[in-house]
A and B are shown apart, each in its own frame.
Chain A
C-alpha cells in the first residue's frame, strides 16, 4: 500500500516534469512528444529525431536554423523574444508574427499542449 502510494507519487512527479508538445512538419505530418521541463523546444525535436529543425549551432542562438511558427493561440502565451532572438530571425526565411527560434523556448508546465509548425526549409 505504502509502496503503491510512493509509485503513484513518483509517476505524478515524472508527469509534472514534462509537457506535451506537438511538432507539425511543413507537409502536415504531426509528432506529439512529451518533452522534459528545462529542455528547449529545439532539443525536444532533436532528441526525438523530428525532421525540419536543423539547429546547426547547437542552441547558442547563433544560426536561425531552428525556426518554427507557434500556433496563433500561443503567440502571446510564450515569454517574449529577447533582442538576440529577434536579431537572429533576420536570417530565417518567411518570418511571420508567429516566428520563433525553438532553441530559445524553454519547456515548462505552462507549455503543455504547445503547437509549433516547421517552415518549408531552414535556410
Chain B
C-alpha cells in the first residue's frame, strides 16, 4: 500500500463546484487534493455538455460547459492542486477527528475534511439490462478497452453510435480479424471525420455496418460466442464473435457513497445550510449532490455552498488558529496566495 497523503481537505469530484472549493479553501490557506472517477477534470460540464451554452453564471452572460471549467482551472492555478483522476473513493473510516479515505487505486488519504462534490454520483458505463449480458461481463463483454492489443486477430461486435463506438471501430479495424458495428439508427452522434473514416472502412469491406438494430441477447459457453440483434419489428439475427464491446455512454450512480452512513434524501445527501456539513462531522456535501429545503441544483448554488463549507473546514483543519474574514479585493495575504502580489 502506498504512503498516506495528508491534506486539509479531500474533495470528491472535479466538477465546477469541486474546482471552486479548491479556490475557497486555497484563499483560506488550506491544502486540498481532488479525486474524480472520470479521466478528465470538469465533471458533467466536460463529460455531458462541453459545448452546450450556460447563461446563468453571475457576471458571465454566456459560456459553455468547457469554457467554464477552463476558467475555473485558471482561477485555481496558483494553488497547484493534485488531481487523482480515474479513481473512486471506495471506503471512509474515522480515527478521532480525522478521516481515512481509500481510493479504488489503493491510495490512502488522511484528512479532517471531506467535501463531496460529486454531482449526481460517479459516471459508470451504461449496461443493457439483459441477464445474459451481465453473465458474460468480463467473459468477452466489455464496456471499455484497457489493452488495445488484446483485440488483435479477434472477431468483434461493437454496439453504439457515439464517439467511443466509432473511434474504436476505426482503431481496432487495423488489428482485428473482423468488426461488425451495430447501431440503432442511420445517424451517428460522433465527430464527422470519424464517421467518414468508418464509412470508408465499410466501403472497403473491412467493417460490417448494421444499422436500425439493437442488442437483444448474447450466448456462449465459458466465453461469449454470439451476439443476437433485433430490428424494429423484433426480427432477430445472430452474429458470431469472440468479443463484444458496448459503448452506450455513461450514467451516474451514487455508488459506494450509499454505504458511508450519510443521511440521504433519495439520491442526494442531507446537509445543514449553515456550513453544508452532513450528519458525519467533517464530511460536507456541496453542489448538485447536496440536499436541504429549497435546494436548487444550480452551479451558482454550489459555489456558495463551497465558500461556506470552507469556513467550517478551516476550523476543523486549524483548530488553534482564528479565521478572520477577508476580501480578495483588499487582503494582501490572499493576494499573496494568489500570486498577484
Contact = CB atoms under 8 A, between A and B. Distances in A.
B44 A86 contact: no
Judged by DSSP, the binding face of A is loop
Contacts of A95: 184, 214
Contact of B162 (A56, A57, A60, A90): A90
For A65, A90, A96, A123, which residue has the most chain B Cβ atoms within 10 angstroms? A90
Nearest to A58: B297
Contacts of B297: 58
Contacts of B52: 60, 62
Interface residues of A, number: 21
B341 interface: no
A90 B184 contact: yes
A60 B49 contact: yes
Contacts of A93: 126, 128-129, 248
Interface string A67-91: 0000000000000000000110111
B248 A94 contact: no
B118 interface: no
A123 B214 contact: no
A81 B253 CA distance: 27
Contacts of B189: 87, 90
A63 B185 contact: no
A64 B129 CA distance: 15
A12 B131 CA distance: 50
Contact of A96 (B160, B183, B232): B232
Task: Summarize B's interface: helix, strand, loop or mixed.
Answer: loop
B126 A91 contact: yes
Interface in B41-72: 44, 48-49, 52
Given A58-B288, A123-B129, 18 more contacts: A56-B252, A57-B48, A60-B49, A60-B52, A62-B48, A62-B49, A63-B48, A63-B251, A64-B249, A87-B189, A90-B185, A90-B189, A90-B248, A90-B249, A91-B251, A121-B129, A123-B248, A123-B251
Interface of A: 56-58, 60, 62-65, 86-87, 89-91, 93-97, 120-121, 123
20 contacts: A56-B251, A57-B120, A58-B288, A60-B52, A62-B48, A62-B49, A63-B251, A63-B252, A86-B185, A87-B189, A89-B184, A90-B160, A90-B183, A90-B184, A90-B189, A91-B249, A95-B214, A96-B232, A121-B129, A123-B128
Interface of B: 44, 48-49, 52, 120, 126-129, 160-162, 183-185, 187, 189, 214, 232, 248-249, 251-252, 288, 297
